[in-house]
């Protein structure tokens, strides 16, 4: 027996990774690959399968409902990513101190992040609904009419964005806070000696040293918000007139309500491609910064 | 104005901004609790009644008598608990293997696992659903638990953690002729407890809050998790007469996870930040 058996490249060592790999291949890689194959077929639930090549993708490009869902999703990403990049940064700058008050507020701003989407939508429906919602009640006290947040096609995605920003701002705030804590203290002391005012310190020291985190948060949020599903599915079911239907809800409806699974698989490949591109960008941004 | 005066003024301004933003964060939660403390009849007349007394705890006593909601709670505990246990076991074994042992193709295999981080659930859902239909796993605990075990994040985290432990520790043990499994189990695993806590809480939280897979896989009410059960009560929202009761369900479902959050705050923050910068 060799003295340091673990130095040797030995097949039996792979036994430690085998259990995970089994689940990984069986439940993630296999469905991914067979989904790619399925997207080339016209298939239904009852086993009917006919090879159609790229026709599902062609059909998607001509499908007004899908194109609307793609447009909605991009619009939603545009509405949520800038606030989810900037507001948590402001909060982190305000809360980057060791007082009890700061710890309390950090808890407050993060608390919504641990709730499930079903709870979040239930809560926000009671805030936004035109008939008896919190905002309607408050406006009524001042004699103002209700605002149709959830039934006006121009407002509904904005409402979804407000809900999502409220729900998701805790995590980027924490990321910014841990980045701010890594800024060396002596730089600030030097700035204080220079009599640099706080605004100049902010723009010449603090913000440049968290710039990489800003990019990271932005890309992370793009990936996350492209997967919008629960908020519109639970509150509006994609309405009115599809104004709040995102890509994932389209996949859900086509795949699990109409059972047109080849077509749904094709739509999910397009979502996968978008997310993969964003993840690859994120990977390179992360690698570059950490040397 | 002296510098100390201007500093105090600035601190006051910061506090004022924080209080306003904090209220915006909390108003939806407070409104939910207020609604849950009103009788359903009161709310049916007008939700504005929630702004004033009388308040009542009747919705809360009703929910404790509702065996279905308690059943969903139990399902959530079972699914999240077993998913967490499974992820910890699989990730620790694989993390040790990738970080410490050598076998043909190891580094390529690790990259292949990392690639999995970029695969969104939605890209695999259609064919995974078919696979589980063929295996008759829908509406069962294994059906709800197994997909969570394929997530590569834990393997990534544990591999990084094992790599950071000094090699001298296990080399000394191996010289004493201990088996690799014993080195893993007795020498290294106890040192990874902080990482186990972080990964465990992260997994528990995301499994508890998962909506997408249980919505598709669990179609029978007795197999719903709390998240999906709450969605099913919400879908018929327009017809509901029990608004106060519905909001009580929301409070009831939030409490366990908020308690977990408050107790494990430190680890949760670490876990979610780790997941984001992965």
ipTM: 0.87
Name the minimum distance, in Å, from the CA of A211 to any CA of chain B.
14
Q: Which range, of A110-119, B43-52, B188-197, averages the lowest pLDDT?
A: B43-52
Q: Which range, of A35-49, A204-218, A256-270, B260-274, averages the lowest pLDDT?
A: B260-274
Structure tokens at B190: 């106890």
pLDDT value of position A211: 87
Q: What is the DSSP code string of B96-141?
A: HHHHH---TTHHHHHHHHHHGGG--HHHHHHHHHHHHHHTT-TTSH
The yes-or-no verdict on residue B264 having pLDDT over 90 is no
Structure tokens at A168: 């998701």
H/E segment holding residue B19: helix B3-36
Mean per-residue pLDDT of chain B: 87
Q: How much of chain A, in percent, has pLDDT values that exceed 90?
A: 57
According to the per-residue pLDDT averaged within each range, which of A57-66, A216-225, B170-179 is highest?
Answer: A57-66
Band the pLDDT of A6: cuts 50, 70, 90: very low
Q: Is A42 in a helix, a strand, or coil?
A: strand
Name the minimum distance, in Å, from the CA of B19 to any CA of chain A.
9
Q: Are B102 and A4 in contact (CB under 8 A)?
A: no
More confident call, A162 vs A193: A162
Name the minimum distance, in Å, from the CA of B221 to any CA of chain A.
16
How confident is the model over B89-114, as a mean pLDDT?
93
Q: Which range, of A2-6, B9-13, B202-206, averages the lowest pLDDT?
A: A2-6
Q: Do A5 and B174 touch (CB under 8 A)?
A: yes
How confident is the model over A161-188, as a mean pLDDT?
89
pLDDT value of position B44: 79
Q: How much of chain A, in percent, has pLDDT values that exceed 70?
A: 94
- In angstroms, the CA B207 to CA A47 distance is 32
- Measured between beta carbons, the chain B residues lying within 8 angstroms of A269 are 123
Q: How much of chain B, in percent, has pLDDT values that exceed 70?
A: 94
Rounded to a whole number of angstroms, the distance between the first and last alpha carbons of chain A is 40
**Closest chain B residue to A270, measured at CA:** B123
Name the minimum distance, in Å, from the CA of B18 to any CA of chain A.
7
Tell me how crowded residue B6 is: count the other CB atoms within 10 A of its CB.
12
- In angstroms, the CA B113 to CA B93 distance is 14
- In angstroms, the CA A108 to CA B202 distance is 19
- In angstroms, the CA A199 to CA A188 distance is 13
- Measured between beta carbons, the chain A residues lying within 8 angstroms of B98 are 17
- The Cα angle at residue B25 between residues B21 and B30, in degrees rounded to 5: 130
H/E segment holding residue A159: helix A156-168
Show me where the domains of chain B are located.
3-58, 63-277
pLDDT value of position A288: 62
pLDDT value of position B275: 58
- Measured between beta carbons, the chain B residues lying within 8 angstroms of A112 are 25, 29
The yes-or-no verdict on residue A234 having pLDDT over 60 is yes
Q: What is the dihedral of CA B235, B236, B240, B244, to 10 degrees?
A: -10
Q: Are B253 and B60 in contact (CB under 8 A)?
A: no
Rg, Å, chain B Cα set? 24
How confident is the model over B155-173, as a mean pLDDT?
87
Structure tokens at B243: 């608004």
Query: Three-state SS string across B194-236, please?
Result: HHHHHHHHHHHHHHHHCCHHHHHHCCCHHHCCHHHHHHHHHHC
Band the pLDDT of B274: cuts 50, 70, 90: low
pLDDT value of position A50: 86
pLDDT value of position A8: 58
Q: Is B9 in a helix, a strand, or coil?
A: helix
Instruction: For an interface test with B, give the residue of A5, A19, A31 to mutate (most B CBs within 10 A).
Output: A31
Q: Are B149 and B91 in contact (CB under 8 A)?
A: no
- Measured between CB atoms, which of A7, A220, A276 is closest to B118? A276
pLDDT value of position B57: 83
How confident is the model over A246-264, as a mean pLDDT?
93
- Convert the pLDDT of each residue in B117-157 to its tens digit: 888 888 899 999 999 999 999 999 999 999 999 989 999 98
pLDDT value of position A2: 41
Q: How much of chain B, in percent, has pLDDT values that exceed 90?
A: 40
- In angstroms, the CA B185 to CA B193 distance is 12
pLDDT value of position B241: 62
Band the pLDDT of B277: cuts 50, 70, 90: low
Exposure b/e, A181-215, CB count within 10 A at least 16 = b: eeeeeeeeeebeeeeeeeeebeeebbeeebeebbb
Instruction: For an interface test with B, give the residue of A20, A124, A140, A286 to mutate (most B CBs within 10 A).
Output: A20
H/E segment holding residue A172: helix A170-180
- Measured between beta carbons, the chain A residues lying within 8 angstroms of B218 are none
pLDDT value of position B83: 97
Largest CA distance in chain A: 87
Q: What is each CA distance from B139 to A60, B220, B224, in whole angstroms?
A: 32, 6, 8
pLDDT value of position B237: 67
Q: Are B146 and A23 in contact (CB under 8 A)?
A: yes
- In angstroms, the CA B178 to CA B186 distance is 10
Please report the domains of chain A, with CATH numbers, ordered by start residue.
51-289 (1.10.3720.10)
Q: Are B18 and A94 in contact (CB under 8 A)?
A: yes
Q: Do A27 and B147 touch (CB under 8 A)?
A: yes
Phi, psi torsion values for B103, nearest 5 degrees: -150, 160
Instruction: For an interface test with A, give the residue of B36, B92, B124, B187 to mutate (most A CBs within 10 A).
Output: B124
Q: What is the dihedral of CA A265, A267, A270, A274, to 10 degrees?
A: -110
- Convert the pLDDT of each residue in B187-233 to its tens digit: 888 888 888 888 888 899 889 999 999 999 999 999 999 999 988 88
The yes-or-no verdict on residue A5 having pLDDT over 50 is no
Name the minimum distance, in Å, from the CA of B127 to any CA of chain A.
5
CATH class belonging to B63-277: mainly alpha
Q: What is the pTM of this model?
A: 0.89
Mean per-residue pLDDT of chain A: 88
Find, among B194, B134, B216, B138, the residue nearest to A268 by Cα.
B216
Band the pLDDT of A1: cuts 50, 70, 90: very low
- In angstroms, the CA A221 to CA A230 distance is 16
Query: DSSP letter at A203?
Result: I
Residue B70 CB contacts under 8 Å (≥ 6 apart), including other chains: B64
Enumerate residues 10 to 39 of chain B having a beta carbon within 8 A of any beta carbon in chain A.
10, 14-15, 17-18, 21-22, 24-29, 31-32, 35
The yes-or-no verdict on residue A195 having pLDDT over 60 is yes
- The Cα angle at residue B225 between residues B233 and A33, in degrees rounded to 5: 115
- Measured between beta carbons, the chain A residues lying within 8 angstroms of B12 are none
The yes-or-no verdict on residue A256 having pLDDT over 70 is yes
- Measured between CB atoms, which of B155, B227, B231 is closest to A20? B155
Sign of the CA dihedral running B168, B171, B173, B175: negative
- Convert the pLDDT of each residue in A117-139 to its tens digit: 999 999 999 899 988 889 999 99
Q: Are B148 and B207 in contact (CB under 8 A)?
A: yes
Burial of A80 (0-12, 13-18, 19+ CB in 10 A): buried
How confident is the model over B70-78, as a mean pLDDT?
93
Cα A176 to chain centroid, rounded: 17
Q: Are B253 and B226 in contact (CB under 8 A)?
A: yes
Q: Is A51 in a helix, a strand, or coil?
A: strand
The yes-or-no verdict on residue B86 having pLDDT over 50 is yes
């Amino acid at each position: 027996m060799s003295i340091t058996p673990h130095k040797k490249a030995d097949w039996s060592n792979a036994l430690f990774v085998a259990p995970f790999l089994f689940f990984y291949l069986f439940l993630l890689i296999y469905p991914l690959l067979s989904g790619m194959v399925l997207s080339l077929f016209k298939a239904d639930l009852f086993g009917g399968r006919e090879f159609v090549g790229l026709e599902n993708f062609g059909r998607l490009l001509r499908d007004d409902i899908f194109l609307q869902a793609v447009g909605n999703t991009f619009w939603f990403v545009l509405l949520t990513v800038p606030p989810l990049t900037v507001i948590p940064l402001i909060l982190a700058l305000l809360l980057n101190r060791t007082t009890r008050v700061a710890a309390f507020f950090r808890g407050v701003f993060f608390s919504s992040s641990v709730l499930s989407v079903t709870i979040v939508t239930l809560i926000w429906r009671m805030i936004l609904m035109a008939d008896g919602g919190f905002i309607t009640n408050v406006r009524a006290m001042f004699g103002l009419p209700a605002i149709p947040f959830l039934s006006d096609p121009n407002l509904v995605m904005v409402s979804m964005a407000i809900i999502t920003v409220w729900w998701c701002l805790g995590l980027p705030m924490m990321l910014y806070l841990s980045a701010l804590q890594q800024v060396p203290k002596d730089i600030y002391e030097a700035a204080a000696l220079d009599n640099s005012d706080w605004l100049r310190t902010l723009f010449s020291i603090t913000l440049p040293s968290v710039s990489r985190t800003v990019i990271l948060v932005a890309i992370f949020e793009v990936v996350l918000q492209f997967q919008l599903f629960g908020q519109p599915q639970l509150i509006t079911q994609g309405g009115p007139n599809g104004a709040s239907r995102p890509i994932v809800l389209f996949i859900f409806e086509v795949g699990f309500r109409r059972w047109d699974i080849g077509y749904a698989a094709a739509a999910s490949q397009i979502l996968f491609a978008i997310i993969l591109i964003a993840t690859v960008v994120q990977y390179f941004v992360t690698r570059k910064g950490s040397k | 104005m002296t510098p100390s005066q201007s500093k105090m003024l600035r601190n006051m301004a910061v506090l004022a901004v924080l209080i306003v933003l904090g209220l915006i964060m909390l108003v939806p939660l407070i409104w939910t609790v207020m609604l849950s403390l009103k009788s359903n009849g009161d709310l049916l007349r007008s939700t504005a009644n929630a702004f004033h007394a009388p308040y009542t705890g009747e919705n809360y006593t009703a929910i404790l008598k509702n065996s279905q909601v308690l059943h969903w709670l139990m399902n959530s505990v079972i699914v999240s608990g077993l998913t967490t246990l499974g992820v910890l076991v699989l990730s620790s074994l694989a993390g040790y293997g990738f970080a410490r042992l050598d076998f043909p193709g190891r580094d390529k295999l690790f990259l292949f696992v990392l690639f999995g981080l970029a695969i969104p659930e939605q890209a695999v859902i259609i064919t995974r659903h078919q696979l589980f239909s063929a295996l008759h796993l829908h509406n069962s605990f294994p059906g709800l638990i197994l997909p969570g075990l394929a997530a590569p994040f834990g393997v990534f985290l544990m591999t990084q953690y094992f790599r950071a432990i000094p090699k001298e520790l296990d080399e000394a043990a191996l010289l004493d002729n201990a088996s690799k499994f014993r080195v893993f189990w007795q020498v290294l695993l106890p040192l990874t407890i902080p990482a186990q806590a972080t990964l465990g809480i992260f997994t528990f939280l995301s499994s508890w809050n998962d909506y997408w897979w249980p919505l598709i896989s669990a179609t029978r009410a007795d197999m719903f998790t709390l998240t999906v059960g709450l969605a099913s009560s919400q879908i018929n929202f327009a017809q509901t007469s029990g608004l106060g009761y519905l909001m009580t369900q929301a409070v009831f479902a939030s409490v366990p996870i908020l308690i977990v959050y408050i107790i494990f705050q430190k680890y949760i923050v670490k876990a979610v930040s780790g997941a984001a910068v992965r």
